[in-house]
Amino acid sequence: MTFPEKAAARPAQKPARPEFSSGPCAKRPGWSAARIAELAMLGRSHRAKAPKAQLAAAIERTHRLLGLPEDYRIGIVPASDTGAFEMAMWTMMGAAPVDMLAWESFGKGWITDAVKQLRLADCRTLEAPYGALPDLAAVRPDADIAFTWNGTTSGARVPDADWIPADRQGLTFCDATSAAFAQAIDWPKIDVATFSWQKVMGGEAAHGMLVLSPRAVARLESFVPDRPLPKVFRLTKGGKLIEGVFRGETINTPSMLAVADYTDALDWAEEIGGLAALTSRADANFAALQGWVEETPWVENLVAEPAYRSNTSVCLKIVDPAVAALDEAGQRAFAKRMVAALEAEDVAYDIGGYRDAPPGLRIWCGATVDTADVARLTPWLDWAFAAARAELAAA
């Protein structure tokens, strides 16, 4: 009996929640629009006392939940993680040499900005293919370092921050959007971090968060970029940090509906036990998925080194010989057939690999996903593979 024939039976149970997208991600268990409506201060100025207090509370609670050093600042900024990281690059880069690290599409995007838009004079790039990491030991201690802690589109993460020199002269710029709230980030090694609400916390999109160490603040207050800065990027005035940004006085008008949704996510995170509980949930989800991978002959984790595997954006490659023998277009078409079949059954939504990544699947295992749903998903992955494989054999 071949594997496709053995796995062709339609599973009896479906995941209770089929949202496995890597962004925007699943809402928290028990999420209710009615609850958000109760919290939302709609039709109010974000500068009024109560809405401003809600924004300030979101900042304070995030600081506490992540366990940031006391002297680190957090601000709510526009345009999600992308806006936050662009803001950091445009306002602080150029004062020192820069080492840009990339092993997936977003890191490569930051390289494009550094080289083609900012045109930084002394800028090195250290790159690796999807599923691997570059030589982290090659970073220069006198350089600014920019990297993604967790490669959302490759499923590869840095295992720790031991490779960052403790006596570094430059700043570290960390895109932490699919790592924050699910992975152990060594905050004293990070000077600038960015993330969005829409990943591990399952919040709404469009808002980013910018974390600054005292060293980053010193750079902002001492460095004057030789480029124009749009209003939404300006973090200083008269050579001093605009402190209001880090107390809930946002640069542009935020969505108070999205703020209420994030407030609800913070409530949930605190109720279940904080950062340790969030990380534990993501670890359990990954363990359930990876355990199935290790027992399944047609699929492998895209990341070969176990220490580098993400516990949130898990990327899988199809290694069945008949599929692997196809060209890239054929492999993408095969994965799309699987994804479409699962979506049609309301079993899993939006689990295709990222468009620039190798063909395959990408399954979100962040804290808002229930492990029971991951366990219910895996037989359906076998089912979808068998169906697509049978079509390929018949073609």
pTM over 0.95, yes/no: yes
* pLDDT tens profile 198-245: 999 999 999 999 999 999 999 999 999 999 999 999 999 999 999 999
Q: Is the pLDDT of residue 327 over 80?
A: yes
Stretch (H or E) spanning 315? strand 313-318
Q: Is the pLDDT of residue 141 over 60?
A: yes
pLDDT value at position 74? 98
Mapped onto helix, strand or coil, the DSSP state of residue 75 is: strand
* Tokens matching residue 108: 């490569």
Average pLDDT value for residue range 68-79:
98
Q: Is the pLDDT of residue 319 over 50?
A: yes
pLDDT value at position 1? 33
How far is Cα 224 from Cα 234, in angstroms, rounded to an integer? 11
Locate tokens 């060209």: which residue? 327
pLDDT value at position 15? 98
Average pLDDT value for residue range 291-318:
98
pLDDT value at position 395? 87
CATH numbers and ranges of domains, the chain: 18-28+274-394 (3.90.1150.10), 33-269 (3.40.640.10)
Residue 67 CB: number of other CB atoms within 10 A?
12
Burial class (CB in 10 A: 0-12, 13-18, 19+), 7: buried
Say which residues have a Cβ less than 8 Å from residue 233's Cβ, sequence separation at least 6. Answer: 86, 87, 90, 91
The conformational region for residue 314 under phi > 0 = left, psi -120 to 50 = alpha, else beta, is beta
Say which residues have a Cβ less than 8 Å from residue 254's Cβ, sequence separation at least 6. Answer: 46, 55, 76, 78, 207
* pLDDT tens profile 41-61: 999 999 999 999 999 999 999
Q: Is the pLDDT of residue 4 over 60?
A: no
Average pLDDT value for residue range 6-18:
86
Task: Give 8's pLDDT tier (boundaries 50, 70, 90).
Answer: low
Percentage of the chain lying above the pLDDT 90 cut: 97
* pLDDT tens profile 25-45: 999 999 999 999 999 999 999
pLDDT value at position 9? 85
* pLDDT tens profile 165-199: 989 999 999 999 999 999 999 999 999 999 999 99
Q: Taking all residues of the chain, what is their mean pLDDT, rounded to a whole number? A: 96
